[in-house]
Structure 1
Amino acid sequence: MLFFFFILLGLFNSILSLDNGLGKTPQMGWNSWNHFGCNINETVIRQTADALIATGLAKAGYNYINVDDCWASSRDPQTKFIIPDPNGFPSGMASLADYVHSRGLLFGLYSDAGISTCAGRPGSYGYEEIDAHIYAQWKVDYLKYDNCNSKPTNKTIKERYERMRDALNHTGRPIFYSACEWGEMLPALWFRSVANSWRTTPDIIDTWLSMLFNIDINDLFADYAAPHGFNDPDMLEIGNGGMTLNEYRTHMSLWSIAKSPLLIGCDVRNISKESLEILTNSEVIAVNQDPLGVQGKKIRIDLDHDTEIWAGPLVDGSKVVITFNRADNIADKILVLFTDLGWNSTTTVNIRDLWLHKDLGEFKGNYTAYNIESHGVQMLKMTPVML
């Protein structure tokens, strides 16, 4: 009975999307936290904006520059306006936003639904209207809203996040609202009317196991994602050095098919050619940004060989399919049955490898992926042949 309740709740929530006109597809951009933590300043942010342009990442769709925790220092005793850290941001956030906008990009900030942020800076609880007004005045385009130090508020998570949603809407400025609740209260079940995206997981770490843990949890809520509201398994670690290039390619593939936000977390001022190639693969990005907005998910698991098949529909009637080898050894073959994709056993499809940018030909009834590397994937677009 509970299962059917969640299904009905998902259908109901799909109607009640946050109505701010944003998030038709998952957000793309850069966030300071994964690489820099609290070691941020306005010079780093300006240089990052320049680097997004110079590397072609902005052209590929990464258009948000998001300053995470540690940008704020205190509140003015009289006005209660939040004050940027004078050491890291002496020019102020309005000036920084203007610079980011002058580069054709969008500007984001971080705050918290508790009395202080995770790093101990001023939180927004009790100051939602004041903070939202200041963000709009500074021309902020994006707010990441965390959940630290919230117990003294005596309010539910949903209530605290709704307070900031309402405050942002009252400004009249469209501000993308990213709820970072860490998935503790299953926000995917409730947050479609609250935020444009919601974290389904704990913070990611730049390791293979952390990445898998987050995407596996995120997959449980696949049916709750839709345009204007997406599940968020946290930011990308590509380029930070904790995984192999093959594992980063898998990371990018899984985040893309799952319609997860694509928020770069490395130092793009010094990004390697190989990491840049992974992040700018236009065919993989197109899957993530497909306007149908349906999250792909696991459709078959082979526990004996530690392999999986992930799949999801695209707006043109094709399917995106990932053959995924989680094992520590090469997978000799992974069989994809077209009946698992909703087609009949006689269907013929054209198949394209999105990482190789190569058409593989026509296949009838099934497709077999051979010799998939350890921790690797083959990411495919399958299009039925119209006979």
Structure 2
Amino acid sequence: MHLLSFGLLLALYMLSTALDNGLVKTPPMGWMTWERYRCNIDCKNDPDNCISENLIKAMADKMANGGWRELGYVYLSIDDCWAKKQRDSNGKLEPDPDRFPSGIKALADYVHSRGLKLGIYSDMGNYTCGGYPGTTLDTIKIDADTFASWEVDMLKFDGCYSNDTEKAIGYPKMSSALNATGRPILYSCSWPAYEGGLPPKVNYTLLGSICNMWRNYDDIQDSWASVVKIIQWFAANQDALQPVAGPGHWNDPDMLITGDYGLSYEQSKAQLAIWAIMAAPLIMSNDLRTISEEAKDLLQNRLLIYINQDSLGIQGRQVMKVGCLSVWKRQLVNDQYAVAVLNTGDDGLPRPFSTSLGLLNITEYSAGYKLYDVFNTEYVGLFKPISPINLKINPSGVVMLFIQPATVAPHRSYFGFL
């Protein structure tokens, strides 16, 4: 009787807190301030790179005019350090008046006029990670209502300066509060990252019912070592993580750092490939005003985006590992697949790798499959299940293949080169 009552209460609780905004049936794409700009508030000495409405407007212009918006990069999100150090006399959060003189509502209007969506940041705790006013349990409703009144489209809800009990109450409560505003607001939860990212401490069934996406692990840093650390953690824990992702609720390995300082060209391809295989949000944090054409081409690769945005929403998995080489595979619509072979070695010599569709368990079509190299944007050939596939993977690099049944017509209007 007690078990039945507990089960019923849990079901009712999850029903009452379920996020019902219909958003992000495919992984969200966009741009965020944190990795590239951190908590830079020095607008006097660094006006072009401080957290301000001028920075957000500049990025909005680039996203609208640089081909980003049309490819799906539509969320433009302010991370920490946007607020005043105190709430107003009514207990509401306010933007810093020197850096956001027009206010967040006016900034949202500007972003919306560019065909984009504005995201904002808050923290389930006494303070944000940067030391600004946090959202406590008794201010959740007022903050949700404030964000909705500003016509914000996304909330990243961090977890500094709170305890486990407050998070367990606060994250579902914010979900309900956002729902109650009537405005569809993408809800990005950092909760799992503060709880070790894994069951049983993290209840992914509950998370999937209250959040659109969630950070599982540590913050990404601008380095290859950080990217590899994240990839390896997701691979080691994929049995717990892979099944919980899907349309409307995604694992988030953190921001894309392509176009910043820490990754080589090969390493940038590697991060993008594995993020696409993992059905991860593609949220950039870089300077779109100065990004190189090389980095821009990678981030705007149409076939990579097609793979990431696949409507099945199945997160891919690491299916093989031999030394520094690992093979990742994702099932896509229409019996299509994406495969990435990652080389985490750095000894200066490309590694040979041989496999076949049969070894990859891609054997449904006896007529064979057409293979395309995603980053070289070229047709590789028609392969039967037993045909050898011989690759060379550059140090700290990747080869990514799009695999399509021979009988399926290519989507020429989207892929371009197919």
Alignment TM-score > 0.5, same fold: yes
How large is the Cα RMSD of the aligned pairs? 2.0
Match of 1:196 among 212, 229, 237: 212
Q: Which runs of 5+ in 2 are unaligned?
A: 1-13, 41-50, 409-418
Bigger shift: 173-182 or 90-99?
Answer: 173-182
Aligned equivalent of 2:402, options 368, 373, 381: 381
The count of aligned residue pairs is 369
1:80-138 per-position Cα deviation (integer Å, ceiling 9, x unaligned): 01111112111110111110011111001000011110001011122110011011100
Task: Work out whether residues 17 and 229 of structure 1, in 8 Å CA contact, stay in contact via their aligned partners in 2.
Answer: no
Contact 1:348–1:362 (CA<8 Å) still a contact in 2?
yes
**AA of the residue aligned to 1:112:** D
Q: Which amino acid aligns with 2:186?
A: F
1:155 to 162, 165, 169: 165
Aligned to 1:264: 284
Tell me if 1:70 matches 2:70. no
**Residue 320 (structure 1) aligned with residue 341 (structure 2):** no
Name the SS for the 1:312 alignment partner. Answer: strand
CA contact (8 A) 2:255 2:283 kept: yes
Moved more, 102-111 or 327-336: 327-336
Maintained 8 Å contact 1:113/1:148 = yes
Question: Residues 302-328 of structure 1: CA distance to partner in whole angstroms, max 9, x if unpaired?
Answer: 12xx11110011112111111222222
Q: Is 1:31 aligned with 2:32?
A: yes
Structure 1 pair 335–17 and aligned structure 2 pair: CA distance change class (3 A): farther
Gaps of 5+ in 1: 1-12
Letter of the 1:196 partner, please give it. Answer: N
Correspondence 1:243 to 2:263? yes
Q: Which has the higher strand share?
A: 1
Q: After TM superposition, give the deviation of residue 55 of structure 1 in Å.
A: 1.8
Gap change, CA 1:223 and 1:336, over 3 Å in 2: farther
- Equivalent position SS for 1:91: coil
Identity rate of aligned residues, in percent? Answer: 37
Query: Displacement, 1:245?
Result: 0.9
How far apart, in 1, do the equivalents of 2:375 and 2:277 lie? 13
- Tell me, yes or no, if structure 1 residue 58 matches structure 2 residue 69: yes
For residues 171-220 of structure 1, give each alpha carbon's deviation from its aligned partner in whole angstroms, at most 9, with x where no partner exists.
00000000123534334724101100011110001111110111222342
Q: Summarize deviations over 1:225-275 as a string: whole Å, max 9, x none.
A: 110100001111111110101100111111111111101100111111111
Letter in 1 for 2:221: I
| Mapped contact 1:338–1:344 kept (Cα < 8 A) | no
Q: Tell me if the contact between 1:214 and 1:233 (Cα under 8 Å) persists in the aligned partners.
A: yes
Helix, strand or coil at the partner of 2:193: coil
**CA distance change for structure 1 residues 372 and 35 in 2, over 3 Å: closer, same or farther?**
same
Q: Distance in 1 between matches of 2:394 and 2:203?
A: 33
Larger displacement relative to structure 2 (191-200 or 214-223): 214-223
**Aligned to 1:308, what secondary structure does the other structure show?**
strand
User: Which deviations, in whole Å up to 9, do the C-alpha atoms of 1:21-48 show, x marking residues without a partner?
Assistant: 0120111000011111122111111011
Question: Displacement of 1:75 after TM fit?
Answer: 4.2
Amino acid at match of 2:94: I
Task: Give the superposition deviation at 1:381.
Answer: 1.3
TM-score by length of structure 1 reads 0.91
Q: Distance in 2 between matches of 1:379 and 1:77?
A: 51
Matched, 1:99 2:110: yes
